[in-house]
Structure 1
Amino acid sequence: MTVAIVVGNPKPASRTAGAAHALVRRLTGSPPDVVVDVVDLGPGVLGWGDAGVEAAVKAVAGADLVVVASPTYKASYTGLLKCFLDQFATGDGLRGVTAVPLMLGAGPAHAMAPDLLLKPVLVELGATCPAPGLYARDATAAELPEAEAWVQVWGHVLLTTAHLRKEPS
């Protein structure tokens, strides 16, 4: 099984990235195979045809399980993440990929953001999202205590779904 993380934080090596890594370790017991910290893609993410962005899109689309992580900005996910997700074809860009929306925030006010805002975009791109998104406090992102109970309930569902074979292209 190939596991990827996509981090849409404008700060490199962010707490958001740390939380995505922590979640993957809790789910699989291993680090991710693919890491896309979108900020590292630079200005190529703002248009189409950039080789680095295309390679990142291909790597994520080829994963079985992907954690898509963003801090909460203005009650939503970041524009940087949106620019990257716009690179995927609508309907089938993430077909066969099991996706987990993960968002961080300062408090509980935006706890529904992963499900209300990020999950619909992932589904629009063809991803399967069989579990509720995870919202975590950015102050404790490195430890990700919110993930313990969440993984106990949803980990098996995610891993089983991710192990299902993708449709042949």
Structure 2
Amino acid sequence: MPHPPFTGDYAAILKKYWGHDTFRPLQLETIESVAAGRDTLVLMPTGGGKSVIYQVPALASEGVCVVITPLISLMKDQVDRLRSRRILAEAIHGGRGRQEIDRVLDNCIYGDVKFLYISPERVDSELFRMRFAKMKVSLIAVDEAHCISQWGY
């Protein structure tokens, strides 16, 4: 799958949605790595601004950013924060019914959803895989990657 072009002024996106004039140390360099299509591993402390590193380039491109994370509370928090900034975000996890999941996935394909947060076990579901193939995906991010060994192989 070819990597979509990332266009836009990253500083303007940061200002528009987060109200900040400058990036924190290493954020811009890492955003540029992501935007260049390179696999990028980010290790930062809690509250260090990791989410902005995938959110800014995703906002600078067309399509949906799929964020895989094992923590439902993190998903809900991120979705709420993005929505408070008028950015359309959704989450799929074990607490949602099939009809609701179906609606969210349709909105990712045909709507304006920019961020889809999904739990690792849902990635392997047939419903998700079929719909994912139809999505215009700008970026895939794995949040809380240190939990990967706990997710299974």
TM-score (norm 1): 0.33
Greater strand share, structure number:
1
